[in-house]
Amino acid sequence: MDPNLYLWHEEGFQLETLNGEIVLLHPVRNIIIHGSQTASLVWQLCDGSRTVGAIVELLSAAYPESADDIQNDVPAAIQMLINQGALTTK
């Protein structure tokens, strides 16, 4: 994944945050997504103000013991959210 990519939340989703986890509902497209706490962090950081690379860097600094995993986990989660239409690169 291009580390210079910016990502935005796709429109039309209803969001609930419960104990740090997220549930997204798009009633028209008929899709429901549940994200764990770390998936929720990734989702929330994709607000158009940071590149993929910046998100990886921020999370790696917050959780340095898992920096290697974060390098792979974050782009994979972002790709999944793009595939489900929850994130867009515009």
Q: Interaction with other proteins in 39-68: which residues (CB under 8 A)? A: 39-42, 44-45, 47, 50, 54, 57-59, 61-66
11 lines the binding site for other proteins (CB under 8 A): no
| Contact (Cβ atoms closer than 8 angstroms) between residue 4 and residue 45 | no
Q: How far is the CB of 90 from other proteins (least distance, A)?
A: 19
Residue 25's contacts (CB-CB under 8 Å, 6 or more residues apart) are 13, 14, 16, 31, 32
77 lines the binding site for other proteins (CB under 8 A): yes
- Tell me how far apart the alpha carbons of residues 2 and 14 are, in angstroms, rounded to a whole number: 28
1 lines the binding site for other proteins (CB under 8 A): no
4 lines the binding site for other proteins (CB under 8 A): no
